[in-house]
Amino acid sequence: MPAPSTTPPARITVLSGGVGGARFLQGLLHLVAGGDTEVTVVANTADDIWLHGLKVCPDLDTVMYTLGGGIDTERGWGRTDETWRAKEELEAYGVEPTWFGLGDRDLATHLVRTQMLEAGFPLSAVTEALCARWQPGVRLLPMSDDRVETHVVVDDPDEPSGRRAIHFQEYWVRLHAEVPARAVVPVGIDQSSAGPGVVAAITGADLVVLPPSNPVVSVGTILGVPGVRDAVRSTTAPVVGLSPVVAGSHVRGMAAQLLTAVGVEVSAAAVAEHYGARSAGGVLDGWLVDTADADDVARVEAAGIGCRAVPLMMTDLDATAAMATAALDLAAAVRR
């Protein structure tokens, strides 16, 4: 793992989705281990869903479990050594939805969260309490304490309009993103406000990172919370992102389908242009693309964004830490 050419900054803020963001954070924490760097994570909560009377926060939990050592590493989500007795019993009763599985160990987290929410605690306070157990090594902040839920519009010949909106989790978990997404609608986002500490974590950072998370429904929804995009634009810290698209396709998830739904070409350069240069009203100062997309560097730079091509496949911890090193080095270069 190459060492960064500069000392890691004291305060790094990462705008994170679930699996991709969590894995990048593992590399970042490995890189800065033993130093004085404080890492704050602003996590997407627009993937949240209420199921069986319980509040489920997939991205918050994926970051918390991954960094706290409780994640199922093969799936990339949910608890390790999980069992599914409660899910089987719910199915036996014919209770829907049967397509979303809550594991028995994972269920405890949702029970605690829901009880605290119903007692009047905001999601930010609940998340802090849950992290007291897991000790993820970062300050984990929900993007908002308000309810925001992403819906995806799909074709449905049985509807008069020929289309219907379904929750993002249904699109991803039940349909496996195998049908075209016609539109992406983050319900409630315009009425939401940034969670406690979110704006300060961005404006007070020495570096802001957009990891290889989904640019539409992860980082995109975080930036959609009123006040967050303005904070990213106004921070004195450099803002560096890592492409979730490699060689014309997403590495994991459904970025390609959702980029198409919002009219963005599926390429590393197009995602950078989608975010935009801070010098032109966007949010990026620097952008890392994979070596497979080295030909995109000139196009990104023409958009006013510093760009380098480096390996972006998170094959192991050292490779991921090397990506974090490249992000720190690019941040130092664009700051100069």
Query: pLDDT tens string for the chain (336 positions)?
Result: 666 667 899 999 999 999 999 999 999 999 999 999 999 999 999 999 999 999 999 999 999 999 999 999 888 889 999 999 999 999 999 999 999 989 999 999 999 999 999 999 999 999 999 999 999 999 999 999 999 999 999 999 989 999 999 999 999 999 999 999 999 999 999 999 999 999 999 999 999 999 999 999 999 999 999 999 999 999 999 999 999 999 988 777 788 899 999 999 999 999 999 999 999 999 999 999 999 999 999 999 999 999 999 999 999 999 999 999 999 999 999 986
Q: Provide the pLDDT for residue 2.
A: 66
CA distance 42 to 61: 13
H/E segment holding residue 220: helix 219-224
Give the C-alpha distances (Å, rounded to integers) separating 311 from 94, 169, 243, 294: 47, 30, 11, 10
Cα dihedral: 324, 330, 332, 335 (round 10) = -130
CA distance 300 to 55: 40
How buried is residue 230: exposed, middle or buried, by Cβ count under 10 Å (0-12/13-18/19+)? middle
CA distance 15 to 53: 28
> Positive or negative CA dihedral for 330, 11, 201, 13?
positive
Q: Provide the pLDDT for residue 187.
A: 97
Give the C-alpha distances (Å, rounded to integers) separating 15 from 120, 137, 209, 218, 329: 26, 16, 6, 8, 19
CA distance 59 to 308: 28
CA distance 280 to 305: 10
H/E segment holding residue 185: strand 183-187
Q: Provide the pLDDT for residue 243.
A: 97
Contact 127/117 with Cβ under 8 angstroms? Answer: no
Give the residue among 66, 7, 57 at the shortest CA–CA distance from 32: 7
Residues 6+ apart with CB under 8 A from 148: 45, 46, 48, 186, 187, 188, 189, 192, 221, 225
